[in-house]
């Protein structure tokens, strides 16, 4: 289902003229990009931090940049309008609003949308103060749209927590890991990932004698905690992949700083990888709260089946309420729960 706040912005394209910048995060996942590319007359540029969104938009003929919302290559005052559906993370939203204040021409507009629970009314108020405007967001059912005009920019930017900068986080293995806002669980070690690493040695011992896995794929790597912690177990080659530009940047920095023989590849659940791996480890984003994304579950299982070597194994960590083992039986001959805690379980699968 399309995000209705995004739909509000799409409907505004017909009145946008000149140069238009679209800032698209995961909320834009279900947009029909071919229709989007041909609606209205504005000359549009899209920036996305999600690989599959950037890829789809580019295939539709839209000028597209895939990065962590780094607009430094764009000239100040070069856009007539900017479309942004507020993010789930405050630093991201503050960063985009700050950047919009520089990128818009005088008299240009920031079109801001979101649900009330997203804080869109507060973001609109802050943006108005920054832009010298006094507009109020308009209510459309449960959603809001604010069209904020740039008049005179305040010198007091919103606090974006130095969004673009990597910073050190604490690790139980004393690994010098870097992370940043814009990555899921960016400022901590995820408990599920820590549980997986706690049992990784036992998982590796389950391989037949003399057949220890040499290649490892971290599927949905985030900032690279699993890859970096697993590097202590003697893999000859580690590959990490994610669809999030911020995660890819942080993971690459972490592998490099630890001198790990690894590579980082952008892709949607391993979509840009064709080689086979002896072992796959994964802490997948299968749910929000207690709502399980079945399509995403099947995407990760299907990718794991495609990428796993014939004698290889994959190890998933999921919350206890997710029945991964049931779906996994549609893809793998061997499915086994190998560990469980109060919150998480580890599921091992093999061909």
- 105 and 229 assigned to the same domain: no
- 320 and 184 assigned to the same domain: yes
Structural domain boundaries enclosing 97: 4-149
DSSP state of 50: B
- 42 and 134 assigned to the same domain: yes
**Do the domain assignments include residue 307?**
yes
**Do the domain assignments include residue 285?**
yes
Out of 120, 149, 178, a domain closes at 149
Paired tokens of 148: 């904020």
- For residues 60 and 38, the answer to whether their CB atoms sit within 8 Å is no
**Do the domain assignments include residue 330?**
yes
CATH code of the domain in which 121 resides: 3.40.50.150
Out of 149, 181, 196, a domain closes at 149
- 179 and 275 assigned to the same domain: yes
pLDDT in tens, 9-24: 999 998 999 999 999 9
- 189 and 334 assigned to the same domain: yes
- 145 and 172 assigned to the same domain: no
pLDDT tens, per residue, the chain with 351 residues: 589 999 999 999 989 999 999 999 999 999 999 999 988 889 999 999 999 999 999 999 999 999 999 999 999 999 999 999 999 999 999 999 999 999 999 999 999 999 999 999 999 999 999 999 999 999 999 999 999 999 999 999 999 999 999 999 987 777 889 999 999 899 999 999 999 999 999 999 999 887 899 999 999 999 999 999 999 999 999 999 999 999 999 999 999 999 998 999 999 999 999 999 999 999 987 755 445 678 888 999 999 999 999 999 999 999 999 999 999 999 999 999 999 999 999 999 999
pLDDT in tens, 112-169: 999 999 999 999 999 999 999 999 999 999 999 999 999 999 999 999 999 999 999 9
Distance from C-alpha of 220 to C-alpha of 286, rounded to nearest angstrom: 11
- For residues 287 and 319, the answer to whether their CB atoms sit within 8 Å is yes
At residue 291, the pLDDT reads: 53
Out of 118, 149, 180, a domain closes at 149
At residue 290, the pLDDT reads: 45
**Do the domain assignments include residue 160?**
no
Angle at the Cα of 38 from the Cα atoms of 108 and 81, rounded to 5 degrees: 10
**Do the domain assignments include residue 162?**
no
**Do the domain assignments include residue 139?**
yes
Measuring CA to CA, how many Å separate 92 from each of 69, 182, 189, 240?
Answer: 9, 7, 21, 24
Domain count along the chain: 2
Alpha-helical runs (H) found in the chain? 4-12, 33-37, 51-59, 90-103, 120-131, 191-198, 200-205, 225-230, 245-257, 294-307, 324-328
| 86: Cα separation from own chain's centroid | 15
pTM score, whole prediction: 0.94
**Do the domain assignments include residue 172?**
yes
**Do the domain assignments include residue 159?**
no
């Amino acid at each position: 289902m399309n995000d209705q706040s995004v739909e509000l912005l799409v409907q505004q394209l017909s009145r946008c003229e000149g140069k238009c910048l679209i800032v698209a995060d995961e909320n834009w996942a279900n947009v029909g990009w071919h229709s989007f590319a041909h609606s209205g007359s504005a000359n549009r540029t899209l920036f996305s931090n999600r690989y599959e969104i950037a890829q789809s938009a580019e295939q539709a003929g839209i000028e597209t940049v895939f990065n962590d919302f780094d607009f430094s290559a764009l000239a100040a005052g070069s856009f007539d309008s900017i479309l942004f559906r507020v993010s789930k993370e405050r630093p991201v939203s503050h960063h985009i609003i700050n950047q919009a204040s520089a990128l818009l021409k005088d008299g240009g507009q920031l079109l801001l949308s979101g649900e009330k629970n997203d804080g869109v009314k507060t973001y609109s108020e802050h943006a108005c103060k920054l832009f010298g405007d006094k507009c109020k967001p308009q209510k459309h059912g449960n959603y809001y749209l604010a069209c904020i005009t740039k008049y005179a920019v305040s010198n007091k930017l919103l606090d974006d927590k130095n969004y673009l900068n990597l910073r050190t986080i604490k690790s139980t293995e004393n690994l010098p890991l870097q992370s940043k806002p814009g990555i899921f669980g960016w400022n901590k070690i995820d408990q599920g990932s820590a549980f997986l690493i706690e049992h990784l040695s036992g998982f590796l011992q389950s391989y037949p004698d003399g057949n220890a896995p040499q290649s490892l794929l971290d599927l949905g790597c985030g900032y690279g905690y699993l890859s970096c912690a697993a590097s202590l177990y003697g893999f000859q080659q580690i590959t990490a992949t994610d669809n999030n530009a911020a995660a890819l940047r942080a993971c690459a920095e972490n592998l490099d700083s630890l001198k790990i023989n690894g590579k980082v590849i952008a892709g949607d659940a391993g979509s840009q990888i064709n080689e086979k791996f002896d072992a796959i480890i994964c802490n997948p984003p299968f749910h929000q709260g207690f709502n399980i994304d079945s399509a995403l579950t099947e995407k990760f299982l299907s990718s794991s089946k495609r990428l796993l070597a014939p004698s290889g194994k994959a190890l998933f960590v999921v919350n206890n309420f997710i029945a991964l083992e049931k779906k996994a039986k549609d893809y793998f001959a061997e499915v086994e729960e190998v560990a469980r805690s109060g919150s998480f379980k580890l599921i091992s699968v093999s061909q």
